[in-house]
Structure 1
């Protein structure tokens, strides 16, 4: 990442149009001009443009993340429109990554967006994520989440993970590459590497609930990008937010680093 405090090309205050666009961020003491410049210089890779990734991409773009990579191998279907707000009926049949990237370009032409219409796996995850500063994973299966987490740990990249199962959502930032921080695998273990897990097609999902998880994921990604700027720039690594959408209720679970973790452990 370029240094936004010394590189004038990432200074949102240098362009009156950008200044106006992000004025409500800049007046926040927790963000300010320095924080907005940090966002403009950040490159986030989003895994999955579905129910979680769709609103997350929209809010990351709205926040001014200067570069966004969207990785998804699926195509838009009619059943997606109930929760994947970045798409319309005109996008049916199109690759999700490309349709989502087209939305970002229309929304803010100043942002650099790259669609990757392929499935991320253990074999290619490190190559696909190597250029990003941080990753937001909103995919719908454990095998992919673990492949992404392991790649982030190997590459030394911070990870925002957001997931939904019916009316339960889990959102957290992980930094398994750091000696005192857990990775996502520390939380779920090795038992979920298979892809035969439950899906929203079988179990159902409430669109507004996935939107909440995606928005929360975007907020956590902002925390990582603003690390060190202010209290908002505390990534809160390993502090998993567990949301029960039926009650509703939110509680925090502290995830500890597992010394025996196959990805980040020291044992």
Structure 2
């Protein structure tokens, strides 16, 4: 039999009721929910992936979200970017996303950052961050995020999606055998960013990948289950087929090899 600890917010019966379905899970329970409540995540991107990822992190009771996005809401975003209603077209996505998150769950502290992420900014933002969710849409930003997470050994949950294809992986350098993003996609390679505006994107598939990012983030924070570290999960939404690829740490990786 699992012995549950007293939920720390015993005076707030509404909070206890809000998260009761998590508390009922033996693997999570009150202690796991308290870890979630105390956690601070950095979410980079308030678009297609950031929308479902942040929605579920907020609904699950994450303590604090720093949400970074310098882009503005456009009409074409609304097909998939569910953080943003129609009346916020033209507004900054980080500000719009923060407003939606606060309406969804007032327990969550949200800090919107409207600047474009670079090396200096991310190191300033990572001071007390528990975990990073990469919901960005370009390789340059992904490598900036990865380099900072490797340097500080902060777990990174990375997602990407385009057309009917999506992928998600965890890079957790707290584990000695774990690869980093650069082990999978080296910054030295010549990658061309492909945008949804050019190639299109299937909205429910974006939701599936973002939701898995949230699930992996919550598991890492609560210390339960087995993460996707070292495993790349691919979704072909046309066939509705999942494929898993093992990722090995590269001894020659220019980012993480010297930081072990």
TM-score (norm 1): 0.90
Please tell me whether residue 21 in structure 1 is matched to residue 13 in structure 2.
no
Match of 1:88 in 2: 85
Tell me, in whole angstroms, the C-alpha distance in 1 between the residues paired with 2:180 and 2:173: 4
* Pairing 1:1-267 to 2, within 5 Å after superposition: 11-176=8-173, 178-192=175-189, 196-227=192-223, 230=224, 232=225, 234-266=226-258
DSSP-derived class of the 2:31 partner: helix
Structure 1, gaps ≥5 residues long = none
CA-based RMSD = 2.0
State the secondary structure of the residue aligned to 1:208: helix
Q: CA deviation at 1:192?
A: 4.9
Secondary structure at 1:170 match in 2: strand
Question: For the residues of structure 1 that align with 2:76 and 2:209, how far apart are their CA atoms?
Answer: 19
Cα distance in 1 between the residues matched to 2:151 and 2:37: 26
- Separation of aligned partners in 2, 1:159 and 1:106: 27
Corresponding pairs, count: 256
1:121 offset after TM fit, Å?
A: 1.8
SS state of the match for residue 176, structure 2? coil
Is the contact between residue 61 and residue 107 of structure 2 (CA under 8 Å) also seen in structure 1?
no
Any gaps of 5 or more consecutive residues in structure 2? none
Question: SS where residue 241 of structure 1 aligns?
Answer: strand
CA distance in 2, matches of 1:177, 1:108: 31
Once residues 56 and 69 of structure 2 are traced to their aligned partners in structure 1, the CA distance between those partners, rounded to angstroms, is: 18
